Structure 1
Amino acid sequence: MADEVRGVIAPGKNEPVRVETIVIPDPGPGEAVVRVLTCGVCHTDLHYKQGGITDEFPFLLGHEAAGTVESVGEGVTEVAPGDFVVLNWRAVCGRCRACLRGRPQYCFSTHNAGQRMTLTDGTELTPALGIGAFAEKTLVAAGQCTKVDPEVSPAAAGLLGCGVMAGIGASINTGGVGRGDSVAVIGCGGVGGAAVMGARLAGAARIIAVDIDPRKLETATRLGATHTVDASGTDPVEAIRELTGGFGADVVIEAVGRPETYRQAFYARDLAGTVVLVGVPTPEMRIELPLLDVFGRGGALKSSWYGDCLPSRDFPMLVDLFRQGRLDLDAFVTETVGLGDVEAAFDRMHAGDVLRSVVVL
């Protein structure tokens, strides 16, 4: 029998979000209903609200979530009611050409729930990243549920569902940061801070945090940065070169998603170095680079989609590191808020006042 719960929707482009009654259908084949415990407030949700992802309003926002499985549909074997899970937006298909080549982290056919959640008047909702977790319950594909150790706090575990995984994965999975490497991270919000932490986990010798906000640079230092650059008054390219013997960093991670910061990342890397774009650009953004510079510098220009993660592999591993005291996920939780506080949380995030606000249900 369908259930009615409270959820946060974005009704139209740049309109304030509001709490509405959401209808959650019973799970069908391959689906699961999850009772949401926590959900982080991520920039991607703000992009949805601003119309920067698609125009399929209204959106049911929220995707960086942890919760417990309440019910499952026919044929579901990977999770069962009562399981503690982190929700993910890479439910791999197992059949596409990437999966069949043993690269499921690049799955070309990730899937979501087949049924739609609605408002009480029948209006269909588009769940953010196929999840929609600013709600007391949500309907997802069972493959979007990743079981993790239930002893971890939901507020910390849920952040693995997007921003923290994206940043750590940008360093470790996409960037291939190794022992002794030099790494620069441009943009030290939630994703950039996680990239700093990932570089530290990988054994980087020099980790340079770049931002225009001193508060974010201070946080990046706590997360593992060995050097900081205030780009509001310093040329970050020259500063990174100076800190790396004049050469540039082995890996530069761009966690802003803007053409000007991408150019900085491109020119701040060493010859044959790697640039990783993990910041999310908007559709109208364009970049122009001299093709000779692209050719002459060698190396690699990579994009990191979800930190090139495989949730079934990476989420449990990172939770284990958290429980061992080697990964301070709690450091990313600036505040906890309620469902009715999401609009204000967006404002604080946009102003740079928080690393992560987490909705607790």
Structure 2
Amino acid sequence: MIKSFMANGYKVFAGAPNFQDNTSQALSDLGVVTIEFPLQRTGLNPWKDLLSVLKIRNIIIKNEIDLLFPYTIKPVIYGSLAGRFTGTPVISLITGLGFTFSKSSIKARVLQKVTEVLYKLALSKNNAIIFQNSDDVALFREKGILNKNQNTHIVDGSGIHLERYPFRENNKVSDKIIFVFVARLIREKGADLFMDAAQKLKTEFPKAEFHIIGNIDNSPSSISPNRLSELNERKIITYHGFKKNVENYLTNSDVFVLPTYYREGIPRSILEALSIGMPIITTNTPGCKETVLRNENGILVEPKQLNELILGIRFFLENPAAIGPMGNRSRKLAEKRFNVDIINDMILKIINNNL
């Protein structure tokens, strides 16, 4: 997206907390000006959050910013407020509603109420608001976060770079099926459900492999590190930790599984799997259901339903010949709908038409 901005004549400033040296260098090499500002990823601390708004405001004024393009929950809320204080046009990108709208705990339900108020206040003066699925737009309107006159648009996720995740033919015929889960290791992403399914199926299908890629999260929703280690030692799952070269692991796997009940935009991990040509097992939830054409390139299961997830995995264990054709259909879907060039062109048109 940054490269697309610059190719179209924009000078880009990238603001974020805690830049790693390699990230900052990569952006600088592109000609991007990187600016750090304080932002807590989780929690609501009024004083610290107010400081974030003021810092963004100062960045806008100091650098004479003409357009603010914030995305993810906190940057959208605080960036939009800062843009409002400075009279700067804001076009925000809602990349999913996350834990706050998952209704998975009392804390999530309380946070949702607070976040609804903040969103309503922050978005009211935005030039445009871009969503990644129609369900999120509908929910914002239902909750009164958006008024009937607000300018909204929908794009199909953040898109996928098809050349970086190249298609590979997979004419699977053996019963050694490799399933892979890639996500933050929290309950809402379905990590526990994936491990439960592996435990249930491993005895009956000993050649099946269940791989997990991702970090143990420091949030209250994190899965148990002890359970993860135990299942890894018992060879029920294979845990790889965090990996930057995820495409290599996807290329060597057969079926992608994400039994999430987190409020996704459109999960990038699924887009990567589509591009490589993998069948998808995911949930019938906003953001995820857009990536699966039922029984054509994958299987949709209801959220939190372990038995449905087991049946979905079992289908591929009992029908390995279906993996190749379904994977081919996934790649076609990635090319037609989720190509990053298509998404970036749509976002640029929205920006140019709303400045």
The answer to whether TM tops 0.5 is: no
TM-score by length of 2: 0.29
TM-score by length of 1: 0.28
Richer in strand (by share): 1
Richer in helix (by share): 2
